[in-house]
Amino acid sequence: MSKKDAVDGYSWKALAGSAVGYAMDGFDLLILGFMLSAISAELQLTPSQAGSLVTWTLVGAVFGGIVFGALSDRYGRIRVLTWTIVLFAVFTGLCAFAQGYWDLLIYRTIAGIGLGGEFGIGMALAAEAWPAKHRARVSSYVALGWQCGVLGAALLTPLLLPVIGWRGMFLVGVLPALVAWVIRNKLHEPEVFVRQAARPASKGQAFRLLVKDKATTKISAGIVVLCSVQNFGYYGIMIWMPSFLAKQLGFNLTKSALWTSVTILGMMAGIFIFGQLADRIGRKPSFLLFQAHAVCEAGGTGGGLL
């Protein structure tokens, strides 16, 4: 086995650190969905104000992903990841002390900036620490970290929220960030990144490489559209569904958490299976297989509704 194809202790530590970071992000976003009713009641928020807490968290995440992603190309994955984790942890903790809508909105937006920065860089760190032939499944393992965080939020919120309240839940949300920070401090920059950063021509190329020619521009635009549609559907379901189930169907917190948990387990199975397939049969065939499966599921759902 050549050196570039070797998997060592660093590879596993990078994967663990990225997966824990993703779990932190998933946990934070889903507890917000479960806590919106409690937050709205105490702070006397209107439905539009409550919704904007989620919206601006995601707006911040988009901004953080773009800015910190570019910074990580210039200053290094580990250093910038540390910045994003600290930013996320501090402002998630401050949410516990919010006295009204505006200060909570500011805290959530800035926490979202840190979250978005960590999101993209964590995936890049794990992918660069592993041989290319394993990168699809490694990315799926990191994504499973996110789903573990979401599952943890679904299982823990019904138990903890009645006891410690929404303010205490925000403080709990800081703990995974501290764990991720400790793990990241034990890592160095991936060799792939170090070699690339040593090239003078690589400076300032973060975005230009995405549109370097017509074919690349087409692929980049397609990925942006696909990711936008996917995230629109995912966050629309996972964050808003607990409130919908409670208000429209009368589900209590435990029933909403059970529905969410079952959904997450299905997602985790899909992430694992298609991650394996992508490395074995290729990215494009796996993606087309996924799309065919999604169409069949949509057709089945439509038939059920009819």
**Number of Cβ within a 10 Å radius of residue 86:** 14
Residue 206 in domain: no
Lowest mean pLDDT across 117-126, 205-214, 291-300:
291-300
Q: What is the pTM of this model?
A: 0.81
CATH number of the domain to which 189 belongs? 1.20.1250.20
Tokens 């530590």 belong to: 13
Per-residue pLDDT band at 298 (split at 50, 70, 90) = very low
Count the domains in the chain: 1
Residue 81 falls within a domain, yes or no?
yes
Does the residue 241 lie in any domain? yes
Q: Across residues 266-289, what is the average pLDDT?
A: 82
What percentage of the chain reaches a pLDDT higher than 70?
86
Greatest Cα pair distance, the chain, in angstroms, is: 62
| Whole-number average pLDDT of the chain | 81
The H helix count followed by the E strand count for the chain is 11, 0
Query: What residues make up the domain containing 297?
Result: 8-199+214-305
> Does 94 reside within a domain?
yes
DSSP state of 187: -
Residue predicted with more confidence, 81 or 202: 81
142 found inside a domain: yes
Question: Residue 141 falls within a domain, yes or no?
Answer: yes
Lowest mean pLDDT among 17-21, 180-184, 300-304: 300-304
Dist CA 188 CA 77 (whole Å):
9
- Domain-located, residue 205: no
- Rounded to whole angstroms, the Cα distance separating 216 from 292 reads 25
Let me know if residue 208 belongs to a domain.
no
Q: What is the mean pLDDT of residues 235-247?
A: 71
For 195-213, b/e burial (b = at least 16 CB within 10 A) is eebeeeeeeeeeeeeeeee
